[in-house]
Amino acid sequence: MKNIDATWFVMMNYKSRVPSTRLAAQFAVQDIIEFDVDSWLDIPIHEHLGQFVSLGRKIAEDNFDEFMKNKKHQRKFMDANLRVSDTMVKYAEIHHKLKEKSMSER
């Protein structure tokens, strides 16, 4: 599979108004370009997911004090971190779908 085909697949199949889906697609396209699609698909998914833990940690570090001031902010903090988890799941789905597509083309 070529990088252009993989990025096109992601962009066409993961258009969404849902922020976590858009972010997962963005991460996937960036990683495909950075690693090359075949190399990216050969890397076990758990090795890719560390970038999302870093993202969640950054959200927490940058906003923890502000978010803990009141219940409304606490809810926003929880929602932001749940979106990171949703993004991880969607990213793993993209990886899986592209791996299936790549295998069927061989």
- For the stretch 4-29, pLDDT in tens is 999 999 999 999 999 999 999 999 99
Confidence of residue 57 (pLDDT cuts 50, 70, 90): confident
**Predicted pLDDT at 60:** 77
Mean pLDDT value across residues 85-103: 95
* Other C-beta atoms lying within 10 Å of the C-beta of residue 8: 12
**Predicted pLDDT at 4:** 97
Terminal-to-terminal C-alpha distance of the chain: 9
The model's pTM is 0.85
Question: What H or E segment, with its residue span, contains residue 106?
Answer: none
Q: Which residue has the tokens 């252009």?
A: 4
